Chain A
Amino acid sequence: MPELDDALVGTRRFFTRGEVSADHRALFQIGGRQADTFYRDRWSHDKVVRSTHGVNCTGSCSWKVYVKDGIITWEAQQTDYPSVGPDRPEYEPRGCPRGAAFSWYTYSPTRVRYPYVRGVLLEMYREARQRLGDPVAAWAEIVGDPVKARAYKSVRGKGGLVRATWDEATEMIAAAHVHTIKTYGPDRLAGFSPIPAMSMVSHAAGARFYNLLGGAMLSFYDWYADLPVASPQVFGDQTDVPESGDWWDAGYLVMWGSNLPVTRTPDAHWMAEARYRGQKVVAVAPDYADNVKFADEWLAPAPGTDGALAMAMGHVVLKEFFVERHVAYFLDYVRRYTDLPFLVTLDDGRPGKMLTAADLGQDVENAAFKTVVLDAGGTPVVPNGSLGFRYGETGEGRWNLDLGDLSPLLSAAGGDVAEVELPRFDAPGGSVGTIRRGVPVRQVAGRTVTTVFDLLLAQYGVARPGLPGEWPSGYDDADSPYTPAWQETVTGVPGPTAARIAREFAANAEESRGRSMIIMGAGANHWFHSDTIYRSFLTLTTLTGCQGVNGGGWAHYVGQEKVRPITGYSVLGTASDWTRPGRQMIQTAYWYLHTDQYRYDPFSAATLSVADGFAGRSTADLIAASARMGWMPSVPHFNRNPLDLADEAAAAGEPVADHVVRRLRDGDLRFACEDPDAPENFPRVLTIWRANLLGSSAKGNEYFLRHLLGTDHGVRAKQAPPQARPRDVTWHDEAPTGKLDLLLTLDFRMTSTTVYSDVVLPAATWYEKHDLNTTDMHPFVHSFNPAIAPPWQTRTDWDAFMTIARVFSALAAEHLGTRTDVVAAPLLHDTPDEMANPYGRVMDWKAGECEPIPGRTMPKLVPVERDYAAVADKMASLGPLLDSLGATTKGVTFEVGRELEYLRHKNGVAPNGRPSIARDVDACEAILALSGTTNGHLATQGFRQLERRTGVRLADLAAEHEGKQITFADTQSRPTPVITSPEWSGSEAGGRRYSPFVINVERLKPWHTLTGRQTFFLDHDWIAELGEWLPTYRPPLDMHALFGEPRVGEQGELGITVRYLTPHNKWSIHSEYQDNLFMLSLSRGGQSIWMSTEDAAKIGVRDNDWIEAVNRNGVVAARAIVSHRMPEGTVYMHHAQDRLIDVPRTETNGRRGGIHNSLTRLLIKPTHLIGGYAQLSFAFNYLGPTGNQRDEVTVIRRRSQEVEY
């Protein structure tokens, strides 16, 4: 190559060429083998280890962690997911920028390297320990002395952490636990760790410990407001959604309040790619969100009005596809799979109750739970599949959706008509109005009945000839709900656009037989009235026959998870192999009471009602009622140590349950939630791992600081005036502060939670441990593996809790021994408990409406033996209850004798003779072996059991994998596809993409609801109280009316009032990564609030100016990001920007600025407290009040640009 030489000679020296001619344009040289050793050096590495990131995020991406010379250097995504076939995009390379920056934490200066204890506390403890010679006595003295307790509680969060040893720290922790159990009871202990699926062993570590102690595990899905309460209401299922690969199958995709590129980063490509096969994409978002870039259409409803848009779309679908035209596919679908043909009574001109076999006078088993339709001839019939067939002998083989020759009437038309009064909530100011609309009715068994379908048409305002009442004159009737023009007045979305999107959505579903999908998320689900918003969405997907169809239906993506090997995980996490039941608590109600937020509610629970059932009662009263009726759990249970209660029962010679009932009836014993501010009812010990409560999820953050922790806070709200205080819950004039004795956190990085903790234990990171990871976004199970051993003094969660358990057990042998505990367990979903309240009628024994009967009108009261000295041994082995009782998930009980024998050999045997789970790897193997999704033998066994109940064929779904046992080694080598199992409602059989309810639709297995079908109509008394029998529109809460905050748009000397939203952050996964230097470098480097150009101009704010946001709940000092992509009147403070990075002191109170949740607080919707009735029965993270936070407003102003820290 002589030219090459010429080129080199020609251009390599400065003086040779400035101008360029043909041959000397560029310098060619063969590449860098000598000169660029630096880059080669840098690229070289010793090994690559598979791991992932274990909490917060549902991505479940498998990563390559690069290691050189024993140092983690960086990470990159794995690309070795099993293929989904030749005709669709693959999963690789799942990941996101946050995950890609994870290794920064490993050696970062925010890493927690050693155990730390609050210095003031440690000094007192050391002194007392020295003097008294006993850790438990030392702890008791400190927390029992108001001066000493105040001394360390009041300095929480103010620095002063000092290093301690593991021995000293764990001794103190164990002493606190022993003292609390002994003095107040084990139910004064609480553990919080969220979302097990992404690192189930790490989660199970602490959960198992707490369940063995009798401590309460706090729920998280409802607490995060990620639980779509509409899911249990409509589907009788916690949440089951399609994997992202199934978006590909959709012909029409609506992204509604879900910003896929930001919150489903690894999955977003499916949406981008599916457009190329002609999928139409619609984005519904109040701002020009990242996903709008991809959308064919952008609808920008005013924040919180999504329900109005969906109601109008439902109006169009019902009118055009059910009334004006009859679409065979839709009609057949709703007859078979929904409650639309079922009969409802009309009572006093309002919707009443579902008609049942009992109403027909049939003397059959569970008659009040067998719902009724009309056959083609108009005769009432009881079809198979309702709840009454799920339990009992006569239901065997009949719990299915097979209608045989029966073709139920959708409408009662053909007889009389009647008017019903339906509430509307769209009035400005939130007052309740009514509309009167007619429905066809029949007389059945002496009652006036109509169908759910008829009521639905009335609710949606879809007229039919011959019906009385007020009806819209057309789509352009803006006064009559729920027309397209009406929604325009609420949402701002043009009416014709709303109608057209509805029409396209349904037409696509008609043509493709159900392949229209709505991806929905936090933007729609984090509102106070999220359940009504979601019910109006689900109406769209259900009417059009999209649920249970690949490429169709709802796709709820916020906080959802899927512990695919759920049965094995549950056994480990709840320690149900040793003791049952566990103590579980709904976290929202827990903090609503224990952080005293209830004291700041100046309005009655009846504020939202259409009837007078709640008159004179506060939300706290409803919580207490729900607890005593056994609907929702309540922890602590009673104003008495449950261990002492058992002793007292024994002393009185009574069975524990009888003893408790007698004393409750006498009034000698009370539920703790009826007096949450009495010192004996405080939560005393809180342990947090894999979570950052105080920097992230704590709605009403400042109330936590004030009442739970007893330290500085930013609360500005006033407490409720006397007339608005609870009726049944005791009010203390002085609100307690510093309720908690010990806040213990295990973490690998510093967060608000660690900064406020009394003890911080150093945790291993996700690249330093073994664990398992699954998600609902893909059908694989894969593993964590240590790239390096836990550095410094860090330990894995499994190891840390084992350590604590050993120290605890030693102390407990002396101080506690074996005691009997009383667990007050709520009425549970997927058990016969859900038949406790026929017709959803409220019966409060305390009001004399019924007898207190445990397990029926009040919680079950279960004695549980606790051998406290054996806790550590039990933790490390699988207990004997598995042999006798098996393991149950969603009503299916797996016999696991064969699996236990296998684990005996795989893991070895513990000293107590049981299969060992001493190490994290053992725990992984146990989870895999005890679950149907990872053990084909159990999957087929479970399906065979379900076949007996349903009478339909199911076991073939798993038969192809009956001999397959996924081992931990399998998950280490490659992400491993799971097996179709009765633990879930979809099917992966034959390699298809996962879509929920496919088994229900294709195999006629009922949903776990009252009718066994998807539910439009809810007939519980408290639902009726709020007028929410059917999908409806309820606007965002009016903070002006409720709390006297200024109205949105008002401008005063303190600034402008705006709606305050906290959507998910592009630069973090909750609070994780927001402190990561890479993410800070790519973002604005600290707390920021996005606002519109218009709002910024009104208050003189320029981009990057310091601003202050203030409302009654607290204060935030952040920098502004001004952008025209934001709608006027709304600001975003992206979720979970902790107070630890570049947060100055505020002008408002002179203290450190707060976090996003300093401006929010908890508000509980009464209908979320319902229990004991069909699908409206409690299960952990399945049903409970949501910790919603979207309805808030704040005042924002430009502050002094000179900030102080």
Chain B
Amino acid sequence: MRVMAQMAMVMNLDKCIGCHTCSVTCKQAWTNRSGVEYVWFNNVETRPGQGYPRRYEDQETWRGGWALNRRGRLKLKGGGRLRKLLTIFANPKLPAIQDYYEPWTYDYETLTNAPLQEHTPVARPKSLLTGEDMKVSWSANWDDDLGGPPDRDVLLAGIADKVKFEFERTFMFYLPRICEHCLNPSCAASCPSGAIYKRTEDGIVLVDQDRCRGWRMCVSGCPYKKVYFNHRTGKAEKCTFCFPRVEVGIPTVCSETCVGRLRYIGLMLYDADAVLEAASVPSSQDLYEAQRGVFLDPSAPEVVTAAERAGIPRDWIEAAQRSPVHALITKYRVALPLHPEYRTMPMVWYIPPLSPVVDVVRDTGYDAEDRSNLFAAIEALRIPVDYLAQLFTAGDPAPVDAVLRKLAAMRSYMRDLTMGRDPDDSIPAAVGMTGEQIHDMYRLLALAKYDERYVIPPAHAEQAHSLEELATSCSLDYEGGPGMGGSGPFGESSGGPQPIAVENFQMLRDRQTADSLSGRVNLLNWDGRGKPEGLFPPRRSEEPPGSDGAS
């Protein structure tokens, strides 16, 4: 047993109101820069819908994640080293910018500066890639709230007969997504430069900006399409789990600003030696249980001992014991992984939405709150269980059904208490829980106090140095450092990377507080007029600009 600690997240989709506050605060904090205008480390998808980038779940096209080869061994779905080598300069398995979306802005300044003219001034959309006028026809959130035809949802392929897009049978829910910070990250394994790494102490997956050579194999390799290419710096970027915040015990931006109060952050202890086997189980429907099997009980004495031996600090072990993520995944078993069939062992899990529109019960004329009616209704929920199973259990409806029954039981059990009646212990018993457990789960899901949603131990700065020594063969071996070890397959000249350009605030300040358009311009401040130098990257053949990307 090799105990490692993983910072993980659970989102309760049953509470998500689809407001996108998480997306906005994340974007404001991290990606409102040139080169990543189209990038949303956190996005929220309306399901059914295509997602962002569109149809990213279609791994037959994008070939992200892992698959088992004929011998039953895990291999990258996108192919091994030879394939990578042959395609290294023209990676074909990459969503084009139109699949994300062509970012745009408007010539706002005309509203103030327009001369006397015949018509009311108007700000027109301008492509942020070409500077040309454009018709906005696709975005990171185009099908929000079921806008546009819903039938291009990848998950419908196998269950089309169970989903009807009629007014009376409408359903929808929201799926907020960040990087999964997988235990078995295919992005990292795909990187020719070894620039993607998983932090020892908390499992956060990061791109080493110095090492990244911009091959974009990680973009292909990630089945969730949560690694992005900064077309200005030529580097990959991705969700960092807000490590500068998490290190000091503050939740990620997306979590702390989550208005639905549906995100939980906590530690999971797992056995690193067991990951490969778990990721290699033959049936994809067994992956959910297999991944749960990798997690360790943080209260078990042998785990504690092993964790201490592995150098995990005591307060981290305590945090793992109090972890709400552990409670939701392991104790109450209401959280499920997103697309376990990708075999990356994702570490952002979801409580499926109950969607309790009980049409069937309603039509019978019985009290819909009655437990037996509620349970009966789950098969007939507005959101088809089969659809949820496509998302969370590789198509197996049983675990989804079990979660929904627990949520329904909680409502039914708690209603008696709320109305001042005697509790009915047969309700929790029907879902294999005790009244006490139901009540504890209720506290976590309903009351969801800040210090119970987020149990984040601060990083141990005193260990930083020793960990650092372990990390690399030479601590000076970074770009521009005296070590200057070779960093690409063909040496330093092969990729032509530029040192990372940090968008610094002095530069922004000059620009933002200026009266007129001058100096460097970016997404934040370009008014759509002219074509300022440095704003647009040189055209790339794989990013044809401006074409109509609508379906």
Q: Which of A21-29, A142-150, A615-623 contacts B (4 or more CB under 8 A)?
A: A21-29
A-B interface, 8 closest residue pairs, ranked by CB to CB distance from nearest:
A278-B415, A12-B194, A160-B116, A159-B114, A18-B81, A109-B527, A18-B80, A107-B512
Sample of 15 further A-B pairs with CB below 8 A, known A25-B184, A278-B412, A1123-B147: A4-B200, A19-B73, A22-B276, A25-B189, A29-B200, A39-B30, A43-B242, A101-B24, A107-B512, A110-B111, A113-B515, A159-B117, A288-B167, A500-B365, A1082-B20
CB B375 to nearest CB in A, in angstroms, measures 14
B:146-182 near A, CB below 8 Å: 146-150, 165-167, 170-173
Contact pattern, B 191-218, Cβ under 8 Å of A = 1, otherwise 0: 0111011111110101011110000000
> In the complex, what distance in Å separates the CA atom of A292 from the CA atom of B196?
42
CB atoms of A296 and B357 under 8 A apart: yes
> In the complex, what distance in Å separates the CA atom of A168 from the CA atom of B395?
71
Contact pattern, A 35-61, Cβ under 8 Å of B = 1, otherwise 0: 111111111100000000000000000
A:267-282 near B, CB below 8 Å: 268-269, 272-280
Contact pattern, A 1066-1082, Cβ under 8 Å of B = 1, otherwise 0: 10000000010110111
With contacts A27-B188, A158-B118, A273-B448 taken as known, whether A21 is within 8 angstroms of B276 at the C-beta atoms is yes
- Chain B residues with Cβ below 8 Å from A4 are 200, 470-471
Interchain CB contact (< 8 A) of B276 among A20, A37, A76, A1092? A20
> For the complex, is A511 an interface residue (Cβ under 8 Å from B)?
yes
> In the complex, what distance in Å separates the CA atom of A18 from the CA atom of B69?
13
> In the complex, what distance in Å separates the CA atom of A1141 from the CA atom of B122?
6
CB atoms of A29 and B472 under 8 A apart: yes
Q: Which of B287-295, B297-305, B416-424 contacts A (4 or more CB under 8 A)?
A: B416-424
> For the complex, is B23 an interface residue (Cβ under 8 Å from A)?
yes
> For the complex, is B355 an interface residue (Cβ under 8 Å from A)?
yes
- Chain A residues with Cβ below 8 Å from B473 are 8-9
Residue contacts A-B, CB under 8 angstroms, 11 given: A30-B470, A73-B505, A103-B28, A110-B123, A159-B116, A269-B15, A279-B418, A292-B170, A504-B367, A1124-B167, A1142-B136
CB atoms of A265 and B80 under 8 A apart: no
Interchain CB contact (< 8 A) of A1083 among B124, B144, B189, B411? B144
> In the complex, what distance in Å separates the CA atom of A743 from the CA atom of B20?
37
Contact pattern, A 415-431, Cβ under 8 Å of B = 1, otherwise 0: 00000000000000000
Contact pattern, B 41-60, Cβ under 8 Å of A = 1, otherwise 0: 00000000000000000000
- Chain B residues with Cβ below 8 Å from A19 are 73-75, 80
CB atoms of B200 and A1 under 8 A apart: yes
- Chain B residues with Cβ below 8 Å from A1151 are 119-120
Interchain CB contact (< 8 A) of A76 among B257, B488, B512? B257
> For the complex, is A77 an interface residue (Cβ under 8 Å from B)?
yes
In the complex, residue of chain B having the shortest beta-carbon distance to the beta carbon of A1127: B167
> For the complex, is B523 an interface residue (Cβ under 8 Å from A)?
yes
CB atoms of A295 and B196 under 8 A apart: no
Interchain CB contact (< 8 A) of A1077 among B75, B105, B124, B449? B105
CB atoms of B505 and A71 under 8 A apart: yes
> In the complex, what distance in Å separates the CA atom of A1126 from the CA atom of B170?
9
> For the complex, is B541 an interface residue (Cβ under 8 Å from A)?
no
Contact pattern, B 377-407, Cβ under 8 Å of A = 1, otherwise 0: 0000000000000000000000000000001
Interchain CB contact (< 8 A) of B199 among A31, A97, A277, A279? A31
In the complex, residue of chain A having the shortest beta-carbon distance to the beta carbon of B509: A71
CB atoms of A97 and B20 under 8 A apart: yes
Q: Which of B317-325, B439-447, B532-540 contacts A (4 or more CB under 8 A)?
A: B439-447
From B200, B471, B473, residue with most partner A Cβ within 10 Å: B471
CB atoms of A36 and B243 under 8 A apart: yes
A:136-180 near B, CB below 8 Å: 155, 157-161
Interchain CB contact (< 8 A) of B201 among A31, A116, A274? A31
> For the complex, is A120 an interface residue (Cβ under 8 Å from B)?
yes
CB A645 to nearest CB in B, in angstroms, measures 40
CB atoms of B362 and A20 under 8 A apart: no
> For the complex, is A1140 an interface residue (Cβ under 8 Å from B)?
yes
Interchain CB contact (< 8 A) of A1121 among B147, B355, B365? B147
- Chain A residues with Cβ below 8 Å from B122 are 1139-1144, 1152, 1205
> For the complex, is B121 an interface residue (Cβ under 8 Å from A)?
yes
CB atoms of B489 and A160 under 8 A apart: no
CB atoms of B449 and A90 under 8 A apart: yes
- Chain A residues with Cβ below 8 Å from B139 are 1081-1085
> In the complex, what distance in Å separates the CA atom of A296 from the CA atom of B381?
10
CB atoms of B197 and A27 under 8 A apart: yes
- Chain A residues with Cβ below 8 Å from B148 are 1103-1104, 1121-1123
CB A144 to nearest CB in B, in angstroms, measures 23
Contact pattern, A 1-18, Cβ under 8 Å of B = 1, otherwise 0: 101110011011111011
Interface of B is mostly: loop
CB atoms of B188 and A26 under 8 A apart: yes
> For the complex, is B27 an interface residue (Cβ under 8 Å from A)?
yes
CB atoms of A31 and B243 under 8 A apart: yes
> In the complex, what distance in Å separates the CA atom of A3 from the CA atom of B271?
13
> In the complex, what distance in Å separates the CA atom of A1079 from the CA atom of B36?
17
- Chain B residues with Cβ below 8 Å from A95 are 21, 257, 259
CB atoms of B550 and A1103 under 8 A apart: yes
CB atoms of B357 and A297 under 8 A apart: yes
> In the complex, what distance in Å separates the CA atom of A17 from the CA atom of B188?
11
> For the complex, is A496 an interface residue (Cβ under 8 Å from B)?
yes
CB atoms of A278 and B369 under 8 A apart: yes
CB B384 to nearest CB in A, in angstroms, measures 14
> For the complex, is A884 an interface residue (Cβ under 8 Å from B)?
no
CB atoms of B167 and A79 under 8 A apart: no
CB atoms of B76 and A18 under 8 A apart: yes
With contacts A38-B209, A1082-B23, A1139-B122 taken as known, whether A278 is within 8 angstroms of B416 at the C-beta atoms is yes
> For the complex, is B109 an interface residue (Cβ under 8 Å from A)?
yes
With contacts A272-B15, A1122-B148, A1140-B123 taken as known, whether A35 is within 8 angstroms of B210 at the C-beta atoms is yes
CB atoms of A750 and B108 under 8 A apart: yes
B:65-98 near A, CB below 8 Å: 66, 73-76, 79-82, 84-85
> In the complex, what distance in Å separates the CA atom of A14 from the CA atom of B120?
58
Interchain CB contact (< 8 A) of B185 among A26, A38, A160? A26
- Chain B residues with Cβ below 8 Å from A11 are 188-189, 194
- Chain B residues with Cβ below 8 Å from A1082 are 20, 23-24, 139-141, 144
> In the complex, what distance in Å separates the CA atom of A354 from the CA atom of B198?
78
With contacts A109-B527, A265-B17 taken as known, whether A1104 is within 8 angstroms of B357 at the C-beta atoms is no
> In the complex, what distance in Å separates the CA atom of A750 from the CA atom of B253?
30
> In the complex, what distance in Å separates the CA atom of A202 from the CA atom of B24?
27
CB atoms of B273 and A22 under 8 A apart: yes
> For the complex, is B29 an interface residue (Cβ under 8 Å from A)?
yes
CB atoms of A1084 and B147 under 8 A apart: yes
- Chain A residues with Cβ below 8 Å from B111 are 110, 750, 755, 1140
> In the complex, what distance in Å separates the CA atom of A27 from the CA atom of B117?
61
> In the complex, what distance in Å separates the CA atom of A3 from the CA atom of B206?
20
In the complex, residue of chain A having the shortest beta-carbon distance to the beta carbon of B253: A76
- Chain B residues with Cβ below 8 Å from A1145 are 119
> In the complex, what distance in Å separates the CA atom of A579 from the CA atom of B120?
42
CB atoms of B75 and A119 under 8 A apart: no
CB atoms of B108 and A110 under 8 A apart: yes
> In the complex, what distance in Å separates the CA atom of A566 from the CA atom of B258?
32
> For the complex, is A988 an interface residue (Cβ under 8 Å from B)?
no
From B171, B357, B504, residue with most partner A Cβ within 10 Å: B357
- Chain B residues with Cβ below 8 Å from A1140 are 111, 120-123
Contact pattern, B 242-260, Cβ under 8 Å of A = 1, otherwise 0: 1111000000010011111
A:1150-1164 near B, CB below 8 Å: 1151-1152
> For the complex, is A502 an interface residue (Cβ under 8 Å from B)?
no
> For the complex, is B269 an interface residue (Cβ under 8 Å from A)?
no
> In the complex, what distance in Å separates the CA atom of A32 from the CA atom of B210?
10
B:219-262 near A, CB below 8 Å: 240, 242-245, 253, 256-261
> In the complex, what distance in Å separates the CA atom of A295 from the CA atom of B383?
12
CB atoms of A100 and B525 under 8 A apart: no
Contact pattern, A 1041-1077, Cβ under 8 Å of B = 1, otherwise 0: 0000000000000000000000000100000000101
CB atoms of A88 and B142 under 8 A apart: no
